[in-house]
Every structure is written in C-alpha cells, then in structure tokens.
Copies of this chain bind each other. A is one copy, B any other.
Amino acid sequence: MKDFRIAILGCGTIGGGTARVLLDNLEGFSRKAGRRLVLAGIVTRSPAKSARRYGIPRELFLGEGDELSPAQTAALIDRIVGSDDIDLVVETIGGDSDYLLGIALGVLGSKKHLVTANKALLSKHGNRIFEAAEKNGAAIGFETSVCTSIPIIRVMKESFVSDEVISVSGIMNGTSNYILSRMQEGGISFAEALAQAQEIGYAEADPGFDIDGIDAAHKLGILMKLAFGIDVATSDLQVMGIRDITAEDMALADDMDCSVKLICHAHRKDGRVYGTVRPMMVKRSNLLAQVSGATNAVKVVNKYSGENLLIGRGAGSLEGGSAVSSDIIFIARYGSAAVETHSPVLCDFRSLDDMEFPYNIVFDTEDVPGITGSVTTAIGNQNINIDTVGHNRHGKTTAVFSIATMPCTLAQLRLAVQEIKAKRPDILRTEPRVMPILH
C-alpha cells in the first residue's frame, strides 16, 4: 500500500509534540496503521526555534532561514493545502479566524484528511467543517481538542455509538481546576491562587480564556454536538468563570462537604437539551470532587451503560502529540470510513435558567431577628423545597448563612429573592450568591 504522508501546520506545544512523538515511533505506528507513515513537512513561523525546542531536524521544516514572514508562511501553507503529495494535514496553529477556517476547508476540499486540536475553530465553525469532511469523503480527527489525554472523542464516536447519552459533564479546564484546588486546600484567595498558577506556567499572563470558562465551553460544545447532534454557540451556554469565587465560598462549601469546581454540564430531558458552564458545589461523595489540580474528568451518563467516568491529563506537549497521533493512525487504518456518520438529532436547546438543579444560596444579611423565617418563607412560596439551612456565621451586626434547596430553576430562585427584597428591604446586604450543587 502506498505511503501515508503527513504535514503539520504550526509547531508550538501540540504541533511540536506531534512531530516528536511521530518521529520517535514511525516504525511502530506504521505497523499499527497497516501502511508506512511519513512526516513529509512542517510549516511554522520560527522553524529554527521549533527545531531546537522539540529536537526536530531542520530539514523537515519548509522555507529558508530562522524566521519566516507572515507572507512566506501563508505561501507555504498554501503549497501544503494544494499539494497532491500529502494525505493528511495536522492543523495545530490555533485560533478561530476566517483564515484558519479557510485552511481547514481548503484541506478537506482537496480531499485530504484533517486532524486538528483547534477547539475554538470547531466550536465556532464545527458544522461547516464536518459538512466539508462528509462531502469530500475526507476524515476529520479531533481527539486532542477536548481534554487532551482523555480519549473522549473516540469513546463518544466509536464506543457510546450503541447507546444514548443522557448527560455529559465534567471538569474540562485544568487551569481553573488547579486554581480552585489551591484555594480549597490552601485557604488562599483567588488572586493568590492565580498568581501561583501563573508562576508554574499553568495559567497564561492573560488568563481570561481559561478562568472565564471560554475554553471549557468550547469543549462542552464539541461534546454536545457528539452527544446530542446539536450545535450550540458558546454564548448560548451561559458561561460563568471562577473570578468571583471567594475564600468564603470555599469555606461554606467545605461546611457542606463539597468542593467548588468549574463544571461543564449538559443533559437531555423530554426532547430538550440543557447546558451550562459554571462553578458548582460538588458533593465529596461524587468522584468529580476528588479530581484536583490540572487533571480533567468527563462523566457520561448513558441509557444502557449508565455512568461512565474518564479521568486524565488535560494538556501537555507529548500528551497532545500522542492524541494527534492516535487520530493519524486511526485515519490511516480505516481511511475515509472514519468520516463522521452521526446524523444531527434536532433538539430544543435550553440554557441554565430552565435547568433544574439543587442550589446553594448564600445570604449576607443584617443580623436582626426574623431573617431565617422571611427567607425560608419566600423560598417556600416559590414551591422550592429546602434541603438544609446552613450554620449561621454571625459578624458584629451581620450574618452569613446558606440554604441548600431541592432541585429547582434559577427562575424560581430569582422570584424568591425578589419577594425577600420586597417584603424586607432592610435585610439583604448584598445580592445572594447562588451555586448549583452536584450530587
């Protein structure tokens, strides 16, 4: 059988890791793929630097000199996309620009297979990219785009293919999870934990993408597409990050035997799909609560097989390189049969407002008599059952306490808070803080 020729576009953390893992295993991977794999070329802006950093022979990089201009880089990318001599392109440039979309569509349009780690692009333009793959009989691999080392994409596509997903949830951003773990273990503030994460390289100088939940939302969007066949824009998901989590939230969670985690959660109920990304209080009896540091976890509940939990590393250069390589081997072995064959299932999408959760509500009040009665009465008036009323932390003239409810919606909770404010405008010092509880 003829060689299977691979080009890599972009040689940063994942692209460099891919080249490294491929070069170290060409013989073994070829045997497993059933045909000879060849790393035909790499295009990147700084070939000399990438060659040094990842130990890749300079001659594998296209173009002359240590640094390429944007125009030179673009021309080389065009040459790869237009080449008749490449079977599969690995896109590890990153970003969701139209230029990147053009590269992905160009690769597939020329009937080359595409492997990408680009969750931002797939999340924004997944539909167009999957359609282009299907139309051109080209395969698309994206194992690396969601929770790097957890083989969740292949498991959803090839194993849970014989089941029906009821819910998919998890911890999908290692940076946030590291920060929350540090806050909970060390009793430190968000700012301190973020600084520690930045110091050891777990968080970027501009950490917004991770700590505001955007990265996690991209991953949840891709999993929702696989699980439910629906396309959800990140903006539809009501994404809330971890910037506002306080040491007090952590202490209150501790009191209730919970850990605070940034949770991606989507489920299907009565023909509707609900989804959100936000901090939740996770009961310690739930294994997700035990997933700490930069580790990721995905929990899938299926109709037949019930609860499945997968835990593994969510980032890393060789980790990413190995995941990209698993896509390459799969596609080389199974060819265009590895095209996406799921049909879209049309579901009505709903966001958090209509999703039922048990909630924890923290009230920061003046310490005057009758508060507990007013608050619990207002909650009861919205037909919300109360699970537990937490210990009251008295200040000099103030009190902080939390109430855990049975499952209800955010909309119900808002009405309850409105009633408290209307009947007792004197007692609430700040807006009550609300967090779903995951059992």
Chain A interface residues toward B at CB < 8 A: 21, 25, 29, 31-34, 143, 148-151, 154-155, 158-163, 287, 290, 302, 304-313, 316, 318-319, 321-323, 325-326, 328-330, 333-335, 337-338, 341-343
Whether A321 contacts B309 by the Cβ 8 Å rule is no
Whether B310 contacts A29 by the Cβ 8 Å rule is no
Whether A311 contacts B337 by the Cβ 8 Å rule is no
With both chains docked as a complex, state the minimum distance between the C-beta of A334 and any C-beta of chain B, in angstroms: 5
Whether A318 contacts B337 by the Cβ 8 Å rule is no
Residues of B within 8 A of A25 (CB): 162
CA distance A273 to B305 in the complex (A): 32
Q: Which of B162, B326, B334 contacts A325 (CB 8 A)?
A: B162
* Contact sample, A vs B, 22 pairs, CB 8 Å cutoff: A31-B341, A31-B343, A32-B341, A149-B302, A149-B306, A149-B308, A151-B158, A154-B155, A154-B159, A158-B326, A161-B330, A162-B323, A163-B322, A304-B319, A305-B322, A306-B316, A306-B319, A307-B311, A309-B309, A309-B311, A333-B337, A335-B337
Whether B313 contacts A32 by the Cβ 8 Å rule is no
Q: Which of B312, B328, B335 contacts A305 (CB 8 A)?
A: B312
Residues of B within 8 A of A290 (CB): 287, 290
CA distance A32 to B148 in the complex (A): 25
| Known contacts A154-B155, A162-B25; A34 and B313 CB within 8 A of each other | no
Most chain-B CB neighbours within 10 Å: which of A32, A33, A312, A322? A322
Whether A160 contacts B326 by the Cβ 8 Å rule is yes
CA distance A72 to B333 in the complex (A): 42
CA distance A307 to B150 in the complex (A): 10
With both chains docked as a complex, state the minimum distance between the C-beta of A17 and any C-beta of chain B, in angstroms: 8
| Known contacts A290-B287, A304-B321, A337-B337; A161 and B312 CB within 8 A of each other | no
CA distance A333 to B161 in the complex (A): 12
Q: Which of B31, B33, B305 contacts A319 (CB 8 A)?
A: B305
Whether B337 contacts A159 by the Cβ 8 Å rule is no
Whether A151 contacts B143 by the Cβ 8 Å rule is no
With CB as the reference atom, state the residue of chain B lying closest to A18: B162
With both chains docked as a complex, state the minimum distance between the C-beta of A418 and any C-beta of chain B, in angstroms: 41
With both chains docked as a complex, state the minimum distance between the C-beta of A225 and any C-beta of chain B, in angstroms: 15
With CB as the reference atom, state the residue of chain B lying closest to A308: B312
Whether B326 contacts A21 by the Cβ 8 Å rule is no
CA distance A325 to B163 in the complex (A): 9
CA distance A328 to B319 in the complex (A): 30
CA distance A318 to B159 in the complex (A): 14
CA distance A302 to B151 in the complex (A): 13
With CB as the reference atom, state the residue of chain B lying closest to A143: B159
With both chains docked as a complex, state the minimum distance between the C-beta of A293 and any C-beta of chain B, in angstroms: 12
With CB as the reference atom, state the residue of chain B lying closest to A22: B162
With both chains docked as a complex, state the minimum distance between the C-beta of A35 and any C-beta of chain B, in angstroms: 11
With both chains docked as a complex, state the minimum distance between the C-beta of A370 and any C-beta of chain B, in angstroms: 43
CA distance A143 to B311 in the complex (A): 20
Whether A161 contacts B319 by the Cβ 8 Å rule is no
Residues of B within 8 A of A313 (CB): 305-307
CA distance A365 to B337 in the complex (A): 67
Whether B304 contacts A161 by the Cβ 8 Å rule is no
CA distance A330 to B302 in the complex (A): 18
With both chains docked as a complex, state the minimum distance between the C-beta of A100 and any C-beta of chain B, in angstroms: 25
